[in-house]
Amino acid sequence: MTQTLHTPRATGQAAITVDLVILTIRGGELQALLIERGNPPYRGQLALPGGFVRDSETLDQAALRELHEETALDGRQLHLEQLRTYGDPHRDPRQRVVTVAYLALGPNLPVPTAGTDAQAAGWHPVGQALTRVLAFDHSTIIREALERARSQLEYTTAAAAFCPEPFTIGDLRQVYEVVWGFPLDPSNFRRKVTRAEHFLRPTSEHRVAETGRPAALYRRGSAQLLHPPLLRAGARARAQFTAAALR
């Protein structure tokens, strides 16, 4: 027990790692950063980036460090949160490894440099990533991360973490559409996010696109939570109805 801990024994000892589900939007698609394993087990298979937690660092610090090693970004610009911990005794065939999974959302992240262990790292559309067999229990982790990300968009302002500043309301709407996988009404979406307090900070600038009226540019506001939430339920019902009508 935490309370007694008379003697340090093998019981309860495990290696601690952090694994990162790093999501970004590239080419109008939601993509996740995956590495190709260079060593057994699961050699040659895709896996989430991650690594050991060092003796001197907190779990959050370990996640930030791994994030920096993989994407050369510091955590100040993006959304990073603990997702869940996975500790099945046989999730790693070699020894017991308990991994704390983190979810990171970032804007237009760069093509990753070659990993420190000469592992190829690259972006993969999450749709593909979900159908592939990943190493360890990483398929489960990425599936739960995607659901968390979708849910975060409902109740928080996390969607703005996907947008490089400054951004338009159209950019922000595209984030929702790509992550949720169905279209939103542009008019109602605008009304919703502009009325939410401190979600968007207006600028006086505009962006001239290839075509169409120039769009006003915004920056991220101070709000973390979205009140009231922007729920998928109604829109999803409509999308399902549409999908049913097409069958």
Partner DNA sequence: ATAATAGTGTCTGTAAGACATTATATA
Partner DNA sequence: TATATAATGTCTTACAGACACTATTAT
- The binding site for its own copies (CB under 8 A) comprises 1-6, 8, 10-17, 19, 35, 37-39, 47-48, 50-59, 82, 84-89, 92, 94-100, 117, 119, 135-136, 227-229, 231, 233
DSSP state, residue 235: H
Considering beta carbons, is residue 86 or 189 the nearer one to DNA?
A: 189
The site map against DNA for 181-200 (x = CB under 7 A) is ----xxxx-xxx-xx-----
Distance from C-alpha of 114 to C-alpha of 35, rounded to nearest angstrom:
9
Q: Is 63 exposed, middle or buried (0-12, 13-18, 19+ CB in 10 A)?
A: buried
Find where tokens 């100040």 sit.
Answer: 76
Q: List, in order, residues 6 or more apart from 105 with CB less than 8 Å away.
A: 23, 24, 78, 79, 149, 152, 158, 161, 162
Considering beta carbons, is residue 10 or 245 the nearer one to its own copies?
A: 10
Q: How far is CA 151 from the centre of its chain?
A: 11
Q: What are phi and psi of 104, to 5 degrees?
A: -125, 135
1 binds DNA (CB under 7 A): no
For the CB of residue 105, give the shortest distance to DNA in the complex, in Å: 21
Amino acid at 213: R
- What angle do helix axes 169-180 and 186-195 make, rounded to 10 degrees? 110
For the CB of residue 240, give the shortest distance to its own copies in the complex, in Å: 14
Considering beta carbons, is residue 36 or 165 the nearer one to its own copies?
A: 36
Distance from C-alpha of 222 to C-alpha of 110, rounded to nearest angstrom:
26
For the CB of residue 17, give the shortest distance to its own copies in the complex, in Å: 5
Which residue in 5, 233, 245, 246 binds DNA (CB under 7 A)?
233
Residue 95 binding partner per list DNA, its own copies, none, with a CB distance cut-off of 5 to 8 Å that depends on partner kind: its own copies
Considering beta carbons, is residue 115 or 166 the nearer one to DNA?
A: 166
Which residue in 40, 110, 122, 214 binds DNA (CB under 7 A)?
214
Residues forming contacts to DNA in the complex (CB under 7 A) are 168-170, 185-188, 190-192, 194-195, 206, 208-216, 228, 230-231, 233-235, 238
